[in-house]
Amino acid sequence: MSDETCLRCDHVVLIGVESAAGGVQFFKCPRCARNYALLPGKSLTYRWGHPISLALYPMIFNRAPADVSPARIDALLAKTDFRDLAAALVEIRLELASPTQEVKDILDCVAPEAELRKYLELFCERGVERR
């Protein structure tokens, strides 16, 4: 049984769903169905496929994502595969308003946490304009 708890649902113990090479463990919350990853020596983060991971993916190696132009963000929004953009934006904004983790650790981004969070704010602003 896992000792890890959901970052959003108070005191809900996560269910281990699989392990991968390198000791990565994957979990799912039985209440909210969010998926998590835990790398050795790291803190629990959202797993690939979470809206934050999809929004950050084009910025993995960008050291100043907060300086990305609105046009570039629009292009990223156009080609990012969100099943439901409105729901994705709600999830990203939830993390921005009530932080649960270092978002840079989701994908091992090179930019500072504050830069990534500012980029996510811009991403949400542009996403709302696209809807």
The string of pLDDT tens digits covering residues 13-58 is: 999 998 888 889 999 999 999 999 999 999 999 999 999 999 999 9
State whether 63 and 37 are in the same domain.
Answer: no
pLDDT value, residue 130: 75
> Which residues are registered as beta bridge partners of 26?
18, 37
One-letter amino acid at 39 equals L
pLDDT value, residue 72: 94
State whether 118 and 54 are in the same domain.
Answer: yes
State whether 99 and 43 are in the same domain.
Answer: no
Assess whether pLDDT exceeds 70 at residue 92: yes
State whether 53 and 116 are in the same domain.
Answer: yes
State whether 87 and 68 are in the same domain.
Answer: yes
Residue reference for tokens 């390198």 = 22
Contact 68, 93 (CB under 8 A): no
Structure tokens at 32: 């909210």
Query: 76-102 as b/e, with b when 16 or more CB fall inside 10 Å?
Result: bbeebeeeeeeebbebbbebbeeeebe
Percent of the chain, pLDDT > 90? Answer: 82
Query: For residues 65 and 61, what is the distance between their CA atoms, to the nearest angstrom?
Result: 9
DSSP state of 104: H
**Domain tally for the chain?**
2
Assess whether pLDDT exceeds 60 at residue 1: no
Q: Could you give the 3-state DSSP secondary structure of residue 100?
A: coil
Percent of the chain, pLDDT > 70? Answer: 98
pLDDT value, residue 91: 96
For range 113-124, the mean pLDDT: 97
pTM score, whole prediction: 0.92
Assess whether pLDDT exceeds 90 at residue 83: no
State whether 53 and 17 are in the same domain.
Answer: no
State whether 67 and 124 are in the same domain.
Answer: yes
Contact 36, 15 (CB under 8 A): no
Assess whether pLDDT exceeds 70 at residue 131: no
State whether 42 and 62 are in the same domain.
Answer: no
Domain that holds residue 32: 1-47
Assess whether pLDDT exceeds 60 at residue 114: yes
Burial zone of 18 (CB within 10 Å; 0-12 exposed, 13-18 middle, 19+ buried): exposed
* 7-11, 47-51, 97-101, 127-131: the lowest-pLDDT one: 127-131
